Amino acid sequence: MTSSKSFTRRRFLATTAAASAVTLSPPFIRTSRAAGKISVAFWDHWVPGANKAMEAVCHEWAAKNKVDISIDFITSQGAKLELTIAAEKLAKSGHDLVQPSAWSPAAYAEDFEPVDDIMAAAIKANGPTYPIVDYLAKIKGHWVAAPAVTGSQLKPPCARISLLKKFADLDVTKMYAGPGGHSDKALQDAWTWDKYLDVAIKCAKGGVPFGLGLSGTTDYVDWAGALFHAYGAELVNAKGDVTVNSDNTKQVLEWAQRLVPALPKDVIAWDDASNNKAFISGQASLIMNPPSAWAVAKRDNPAVASDTWIFATPKGPKGRYAPALPFFWAVWKFSPNKSAAKSLLAHLLSRQSAERFVAASVGYDIPGFKNLRDFKTWSEVDPPKGVVYNYPPTPDQIVTVAGSPAPVHVANQIYTQGLMTKMIAKCTFEKESIKDTIAWAEKQLAAYTMM
Amino acid sequence: MANGITVQAPAPPAARRMTMQKLMRRRSTTALALALPLILLISGLVIYPAFFAMYLSMLDRKMETFTGMRNILFLMHFDTFWMVVKQSCIFALSAVFFKALIGFVTSHLVHNLPPKGQRKWRGMLLVPWVIPTAMSTIAWFWLFDPAYSAINWILAKFGIGPVPWLGVTSWARFSVILVNVWYGAPFFLIMYLAALKSVPDQLYEAAAIDGANWWQKVWYVTLPMMRNIIAITMLFSLIVTFANFDIVRILTAGGPVDSTHVFATWAFSLGIQGNNIPMGASVSLFMLPILGVAAFFILRDINRRGSSV
């Protein structure tokens, strides 16, 4: 007798999900030691309710494996997460599993337990990682941390549909269509940083400028990083040579000199909340942000939320770079219960867990694996329908982190010192010449490479 | 004994009790016992961290290899470091000066109020000092907010502004100093008020009989009587202001373009955010010699005056 059942897409997903869960489960032996206690610290999610999904996933794993688990959620406000990790490193005591931000895995590579076995299984199940994940967490050929789903984010354009249409005659829903729609390829090809500048100027003339900050906080460093990458302006190359003095850098700064007059006058003093406030209050027509601004607008200003569309970053001469800021999960070497921590880590990396995290964060979280881009959340979230459909990176986008490809410790300083936004501020707000700005940056970068 | 070693017989219990009693009766023992909790507290929370910071500052980025003075020497050749030194000095000296000035003036005003209303004024004027700095600085941040500044809104009613409080170097420096002065002036007020109340009235009466005017009373009576408390208060405030972190961190995070960074905020930025704790420790340790020199001169001056009285 032959089966006449068709193998549907839904059934395929269910089967692969189950298979990946089996593959990812490491040989966790429930010895008296391993089944004891485990203490974990996760990033305190911006999106209300997202922590609950994490708690649920962890408690389910703990119940199944008969492990006592205690979970802390630590905010990244005021660098509290970095402070906690630094303190635990020095004390060689604390949580078993932590969630370091982008730059910490490399900094604490000697202190984190290698997780090559877990990553090999995760890659097998979930597809390859984005190259920046390797850049940040695969140190000397070994994975010292795994890409966290929760908190990992992109910062693409988050714009007002009606305002861009009205002032710049740009239909972003046509350029990057929602679920079931057909995106206009010609419009996408024309979506360059020059077009972006043109739209920014037109919207500013219409009284609703782009909300692009130029201080040193993450939102602004991220978009500036994508801009520099798109023009091929590397500040320091992978070998550690200072390469900021290039025509590409000059091009970026010239571009910025044309953009800044179209921005609000105070963007140099903005913090990470300023762009969100400008957008939610209806004063800005576009910001570069994850969907958190939209999520808050949905609660506080529904009219703005239902007029919001998130879509790909413009492309430059060197490609279309998507600014990202990933988080990681890592197990301390000093953990007294490493086998349990690694077992939990594998569970967190499974497709089912990732899908629950993405759903709970209403699409905010971007998993670091290429095959985890097809969750229904990104299609279903509304209003408007499809608002975050184009948020996960499409294959033509290069997911990047500001400061790369410099050696990670140098890129860490470039990023945290906000060097790129400072360069733009210097040659615009501070009226320095591009030549002097680059000379100043060269000195800073030379110092970073020696640190 | 046969081997020539004399073995002392243990003291009888009664004799040991006598020795203990004598020891306990000594004033120095009592003083040590009373000071012990503080000594332990300072050892644990000040001396140990200070030496640990010195140790950290001599390690490499990964905190694995001893590098001696490398980090310190590196900073000496880094332009931004000298900019931070300059800004820390501008910030601390100008803030302490204005706090002392405002404290001096207001303490006189409060001192001259009738006793009935004085308590209310004292209480109200202490409010900025009582509110946790992080909270009050966030309120100031909202007042200065680039887009929604309440101060700018008021200024706009008079056709002034908008003022880029946190967006231009000069205004940003002014803003962080202003908030520090607002927060710290009540400490000066209360210290100076206590000092004023301890000046004997007879001195003012004698000065009045000699025909001294208000200014002469202040110059020849009040100031000499308050000199030590002014010096101690300024030294204490200088130390706290130099080490300030929260106000700058919350208001400007060191911006625009590093122009308001002070030692603590820059150390945090390099050390914690930049994952280079030894470098951060090195930056913060630079406060030590600067404050040490200031403390030496101020305390020497106080000692000299003390011995000449």
User: Residue B11: its pLDDT value, please?
Assistant: 57
Note whether B62 contacts A: Cβ–Cβ < 8 A. Answer: yes
Note whether B165 contacts A: Cβ–Cβ < 8 A. Answer: yes
CB contact under 8 A, B146 and A264: yes
Q: Answer for the pair B251, B146: CB distance below 8 angstroms, yes or no.
A: no
Residues of chain A with C-beta less than 8 angstroms from the C-beta of B249: 78
Whether A153-324+382-450 and A16-151+326-375 are alike in CATH topology: the answer is yes
CA dihedral A196, A199, A201, A203 (to 10 degrees): -140
User: Residue B266: its pLDDT value, please?
Assistant: 96
User: Residue B16: its pLDDT value, please?
Assistant: 66
Residues of chain A with C-beta less than 8 angstroms from the C-beta of B61: 107, 409, 451
Note whether B200 contacts A: Cβ–Cβ < 8 A. Answer: no
B83-98 per-residue burial string, b: 16 or more CB within 10 A, e: under 16: ebbebbeebbebbbeb
- Chosen for mutation from A220, A221, A410, A416 (greatest number of chain B CBs closer than 10 Å) is A416
A336, pLDDT greater than 90:
yes
* B221 domain residue, yes or no: yes
A19, pLDDT greater than 70:
no
Distance between CA atoms of residues A251 and B272, nearest Å: 33
Residues of chain B with C-beta less than 8 angstroms from the C-beta of A86: 272, 275, 277
Q: Which CATH number fits domain A16-151+326-375: 3.90.1150.10, 3.40.190.10, 3.40.50.720, 1.10.3720.10?
A: 3.40.190.10
Q: Answer for the pair A178, A310: CB distance below 8 angstroms, yes or no.
A: no
> In CATH, what number does A153-324+382-450 get?
3.40.190.10
Confidence tier at A343 by pLDDT (50, 70, 90): very high
Note whether B128 contacts A: Cβ–Cβ < 8 A. Answer: no
Closest in B64, B147, B272 to A266, CB measured:
B147
Residues of chain B with C-beta less than 8 angstroms from the C-beta of A265: 162, 164, 167
The string of pLDDT tens digits covering residues A353-379 is 999 999 999 999 999 999 998 999 999
Average pLDDT of span A78-107: 94
Average pLDDT of span A50-67: 95
A5, pLDDT greater than 50:
no
User: Residue B306: its pLDDT value, please?
Assistant: 64
User: Residue A148: its pLDDT value, please?
Assistant: 97
Note whether B265 contacts A: Cβ–Cβ < 8 A. Answer: no
Average pLDDT of span A63-68: 94
Q: Compute φ and ψ for A112, nearest 5 degrees.
A: -95, 145
Number of domains forming the structure of chain B: 1
Q: What does the domain layout of chain A look like in residue ranges?
A: 16-151+326-375, 153-324+382-450
Note whether B256 contacts A: Cβ–Cβ < 8 A. Answer: yes
User: Residue B62: its pLDDT value, please?
Assistant: 87
Confidence tier at A448 by pLDDT (50, 70, 90): very high
The string of pLDDT tens digits covering residues A193-252 is 999 999 999 999 999 999 999 999 999 999 999 999 999 999 999 999 999 999 999 999
CB contact under 8 A, A266 and B249: no
Average pLDDT of span A305-309: 97
Residues of chain B with C-beta less than 8 angstroms from the C-beta of A110: 62, 64
Mean pLDDT, chain A, integer: 92
Distance between CA atoms of residues A174 and A165, nearest Å: 11
User: Residue A52: its pLDDT value, please?
Assistant: 96
User: Residue B94: its pLDDT value, please?
Assistant: 96
Q: What is the ipTM of this complex?
A: 0.85
The CATH number given to whatever domain includes residue B82 is: 1.10.3720.10
Instruction: Tally C-beta pairs within 8 A across A and B.
Output: 99
User: Residue B149: its pLDDT value, please?
Assistant: 86
User: Residue B237: its pLDDT value, please?
Assistant: 92
Confidence tier at B303 by pLDDT (50, 70, 90): confident
Rounded to the nearest angstrom, the minimum Cα separation between B166 and chain A is 6
- Chosen for mutation from A266, A414, A427 (greatest number of chain B CBs closer than 10 Å) is A266
Rounded to the nearest angstrom, the minimum Cα separation between A270 and chain B is 7
Closest in A79, A269, A278 to B167, CB measured:
A269
B47 exposed, middle or buried (CB, 10 Å; 0-12, 13-18, 19+)?
A: exposed
Question: Could you tell me the residue range of the domain that residue B174 belongs to?
Answer: 70-308
